[in-house]
Chain A
């Protein structure tokens, strides 16, 4: 089945220790998104790639970076995680501006 895969599902890191989350997709979608979601809040878009074009949301902290080495893979790098970065990180994909399909998410804990 075509799907969006995220690894790891759970990530524990220490304050200030860099972490990388990964997302892959078999849907052959050209757009990939990273969202941050905290408890009882809406998913907050961090950035997205439209094909190879990177689009950063204005309020995304510099601490968050992303890479998309090819169509299928996208990475989220958090350079120096703080306690406030503990959240669920969601990857989604779409064909152009169509409906978005989400992966299972990575739950990040910062100690």
Chain B
């Protein structure tokens, strides 16, 4: 059973704070990990991907991967109200060409 778990939220943070979004996955052989942002009524937009253990930074976003713990996270620094959206974690599991999505975490950034 392929599973990707996320806390549905909402996660509420004040403007300027660090938002931390978490995701766990069931398949130890998973190889690729993606974070998508989805605004209400819109399609998912890719914001980060990570393949190796450790941190990957892109602007205000940092993805963190710990394969031993089967855990991937997304940190958003200096959160802005425009970051308010649902963040979807997606995992490419070994032997599959497709992605398994979590249900997403809703982030609310208050001014």
Point out the residues of chain B lying under 8 angstroms from A105, CB to CB. 42-43
Please, which residue of chain A has its CB at the minimum distance from the CB of B97? A97
Task: List residues of chain A with CB within 8 A of the CB of B99.
Answer: 45, 100
CB contact between B45 and one of A42, A88, A97, A102 (< 8 Å): that residue: A102
A73 is an interface residue with CB less than 8 A from chain B: no
Min CB distance B12 to A, Å, is: 17
Answer whether A42 and B101 are a contact pair too, CB < 8 Å, given A102-B43, A102-B44, A103-B43: yes
Which residues of A sit under 8 angstroms from B41, Cβ to Cβ? 107
B98 touches A42 (CB 8 A): no
Q: A48 vs B82: C-alpha distance in the bound complex, in angstroms?
A: 32
Q: Is the CB of A50 within 8 A of B97?
A: yes
Q: Which residues of B contact A103 (CB under 8 A)?
A: 43
Is B80's beta carbon under 8 Å from chain A? no
Beta-carbon nearest neighbor of A107 in chain B: B41
Check A43–B101 contact: CB distance below 8 A: yes
A90 at interface by CB-CB < 8 Å = yes
A82-97 contact mask (Cβ, 8 Å, vs B): 1 or 0: 0000001010000011
Q: A43-B101, A55-B98 are in contact. List 4 more A-B contacts (CB 8 A).
A: A45-B99, A98-B32, A99-B32, A100-B99
Can you report 18 residue pairs joining A to B where beta carbons are below 8 Å apart?
Answer: A33-B98, A42-B103, A43-B88, A45-B98, A50-B97, A55-B98, A90-B43, A96-B97, A97-B32, A97-B92, A97-B97, A99-B32, A99-B49, A100-B90, A101-B46, A102-B45, A102-B46, A107-B41
Binding site for A on B (CB under 8 A): 8, 32, 34, 36, 41-46, 49, 88, 90, 92, 96-99, 101-104
Interface residues of A (CB under 8 A from B): 31, 33, 40-43, 45, 48, 50, 55, 88, 90, 96-105, 107
Those 8 A-B pairs whose CB atoms lie nearest each other, nearest first: A42-B101, A102-B43, A105-B43, A42-B103, A97-B97, A102-B44, A99-B49, A43-B101
